[in-house]
Amino acid sequence: MTYESQGAKSHSLSSRRAVAVTLVGQILRFSIQMVALAALSRLLEPADIGLMAMVLAVINVGSVLGDFGLSLSALRASTLTESQKSTLFVANASIGLVVTGLVWFFAPVIGTLFSDPRIVETVRWICPIFFLNGCTVQFRVETNRSLRFGRLATIDVGAQSLALVGSVALAVLGWGITALIAQQLLLSVGALFISIWAAKWIPRFSRDISFHQIRGFVAVGGATTFTQALNYASVNMAPIALGRIAGATSVGFFSRGYQLFALPIQQLAAPLTKVMLPILVRESEYDSFSTRLGEVQRMLTVLLVVPMMLFASMAVPLVSIILGQGWETAGEVVGILALGGIFQGMGYLYYWIYLSKGRAKLLLISELWGRLGGIVAVWFVADFGPLAVAWVLAVSNFIIWATSTFWGMRQLGIAVMPVLRSGWWATVGGVVTFLLSKAAYVAMPALFEVQPVMQISFVFILFVMVFLALALIPSARSEFRHIFKIAGIGRKEP
C-alpha cells in the first residue's frame, strides 16, 4: 500500500467518524430547536415573534462582523502558535465589545426604522450577545482544530437546552417578548461557558499578543466576511422590508416559515463545514480529489436535496402540526423556500471547494449578483406579502448555484458535470414526488381537505412508490446502493 493510499484511508476513517458524531449532535440540536420553536409559537403571539424577528434581522449583522471571518481563517490554517491563538481571542472579543456598544448606541435609530418604541429596549437587552459570542469564537475554533467533534456537539446541545428551558418557562408565566430576549441571552451565555470547558485552553495575555501576527487571517477573513454579510443581507432584508411595509404579524409568519426551512440546512450542512473543510484541504493533495467531490455531492443529495423536495411536498400540513392552527401562511412560505433550498443545499459543495482552495474572492464574485438581486427585489415585492418575498429568495438561491456551476467551477479547473451526476437518480425521485403531489392537489383537492397526518402519509407513500419504481432502472439501483453506504463517504471505492 502506497503512502498516498494509507493517508487517504486514514482520512477516510476519521472523516466518517467526524461526520457521524457531527450529525448525531446536530440531530439533537435540531430536535431541541424544533421543540422551542413549536412551544413558543403556541405560547406567544405572531406579533411578538415578528417583533423579535425584525430586531434580529437588523442587529444580527453584528454577528457576521463580530467574527470578521477569523474563525474560518483560523480553522483552515495548517498551524497556529499560542500567541496567534491568544491574539485571535483578543481580536474577536474586542470586535464583539465594539459591536455591542454600537448596537446599544444606535438602538433608537433601529426603533425609528420600524416606528415601534418597544424595539429600542429590546435591542439594548439583547446587544450583550455580541461580546459573549466574540469571546466564544476562539474556544470553538480550538475545539474544532483538535477534531473533538463530540465536545463541539456538547456545546450546541447544552446551550440550546439552557435556552429552551429558560425561554419556555418565561413564556408560560406570560412574560411575552421577554421570553424571546432570555432565549438569545441564555444561548450565548451557555455557549461561552461550555466552550471554555470543551477547549481545555486558556488565552495567554502577554507581550506576545500582536495584531501583526494575524494580518494573513484578516486578509482571508475580510473577503469571507463580505460574502457572509452579503448572504446575511439577502436573507434578512426580507423581514426588514416586510416589517416596514406590512407590519409585525406578516414578519411573524415569514420568520417562522423561514426558521422551519432553515433549521434542517443549518443543522446538517452548515456544521458539516467544520468537518468537510479541513478534510477537503487535505484531500486536495491526492489524485482522488475529484472522486471525493462526487461522494460529497452524493451526501448532500441524500441529506439535503431529497429531503427538501419531500419537505416542499408536505410543507403546509407539516407546519400546521408543528405550529398549530393559524400558521398556514408560514406553511406556504416553507414550501416555496424549500424549492430554493434544493439549490442552496447543492451549493454547499461549491462553498467548501472555494474555501478549501483559499479562493474567498471567487466565492464572493460567484454569489454577488444573485445576492444583490435578491436584496433589491424584496423591496419591490414586499407589498405582495410573505409568499412573494419567499419566491424572491428561492430564485436567488437558484441564480447563485447556477453561477458557480457554469462559471465558478470553470475558474478552478474543476469538471462539474461528473460531480452533479452523483446522486442524480435520487434527485429525480425527489422531483417526481414533488410534481406528482402537486398534480394530485390540483386534480383531487378534496383529498387534501383531510387531516394533516393523512396528507403527510399520502405524500410519504407516494415518495416510497416513486423510489421503488426508479429502483427498477439498473443505473438508479446502482446509485441507491451508494446511498445506503453513505456512512462510508470518505472511503475510497475498491
Distance of CA 37 to the CA centre of its chain: 16
pLDDT of residue 8: 46
Mean pLDDT along residues 79-102: 83
Counting beta carbons within 10 angstroms of the beta carbon of residue 413, is it exposed (0 to 12), middle (13 to 18) or buried (19 or more)? Answer: exposed
Q: What is the pLDDT of residue 459?
A: 85
Query: Is the per-residue pLDDT at 481 higher than 70?
Result: yes
Residue from 439, 349, 336, 453 nearest 392 by CA: 336
d(CA 57, CA 114): 12
DSSP collapsed to 3 states, the chain: CCHHHHHHHHHHHHHHHHHHHHHHHHHHHHHHHHHHHHHHHHHCCHHHHHHHHHHHHHHCHHHHHHHCCHHHHHHHCCCCCHHHHHHHHHHHHHHHHHHHHHHHHCHHHHHHHHCCCHHHHHHHHHCCHHHHHHHHHHHHHHHHHCCCHHHHHHHHHHHHHHHHHHHHHHHHCCCCHHHHHHHHHHHHHHHHHHHHHHHCCCCCCCCCCCHHHHHHHHHHHHHHHHHHHHHHHHHHHHHHHHHHHCCHHHHHHHHHHHHHHHHHHHHHHHHHHHHHHHHHHHHCCCCCHHHHHHHHHHHHHHHHHHHHHHHHHCHHHHHHHHHCCCCHHHHHHHHHHHHHHHHHHHHHHHHHHHHHCCCHHHHHHHHHHHHHHHHHHHHHHHHHCHHHHHHHHHHHHHHHHHHHHHHHHHHCCCCHHHHHCCCHHHHHHHHHHHHHHHHHHHHCHHHHHCCHHHHHHHHHHHHHHHHHHHCCCHHHHHHHHHHHCHHHCCCCCC
Residue position matching grid coordinates 451549493: 347
**Each residue of 227-284: pLDDT tens digit?**
677 777 777 888 888 888 877 788 888 988 898 888 777 777 666 776 777 777 776 6
- Whether residue 129 lies inside any domain: the answer is yes
* Inside any domain, residue 416: yes
At residue 485, the pLDDT reads 65
pTM of the model: 0.72
Task: For 6-59, write each residue's pLDDT tens digit.
Answer: 444 444 445 566 667 777 777 888 889 889 988 998 888 888 888 888 888 877
pLDDT, tens only, 438-471: 787 766 666 666 677 888 888 888 888 988 888 8
Mean pLDDT of the chain: 80
What's the rounded Cα separation, in Å, for the pair 19 and 358?
23
Per-residue pLDDT tens digits for 148-188: 778 888 888 999 999 999 999 999 998 888 999 999 999 99
Query: What was the pLDDT predicted at 9?
Result: 46
Instruction: Output the pLDDT for position 14.
Output: 56
Amino acid found at 273: T
d(Cα 194, Cα 29) in Å, to the nearest integer? 15
pLDDT for position 494: 40
More confident residue, 124 or 296: 124
CA–CA gap between residue 419 and residue 432 (Å, rounded): 21
Rounded Cα distance between 362 and 355, Å, is 10
Note the pLDDT of residue 492: 44
Q: What is the pLDDT of residue 354?
A: 87
Give the Cα separation of 317 and 336 in Å (integer): 14
Q: Is 420 a residue whose pLDDT tops 70?
A: yes
Residue 313 domain-assigned?
A: yes
Determine contact, residues 101/160, Cβ cutoff 8 Å: no
d(CA 243, CA 427): 36
Over the stretch 332-374, which tens digit does the pLDDT of each residue have? 899 899 888 888 888 888 888 888 887 878 888 898 888 889 8
Please give the residue range of the domain that contains residue 281.
Answer: 3-488
428 assigned to some structural domain: yes
Mean pLDDT, residues 116-122 taken together: 85
d(CA 380, CA 394): 16
pLDDT tens profile 284-329:
665 667 677 877 787 778 777 888 888 888 888 888 888 877 788 8
Q: How many folded domains does the chain comprise?
A: 1
Q: Can you give the pLDDT at residue 424?
A: 80
CB atoms within 10 A of CB 78: 7
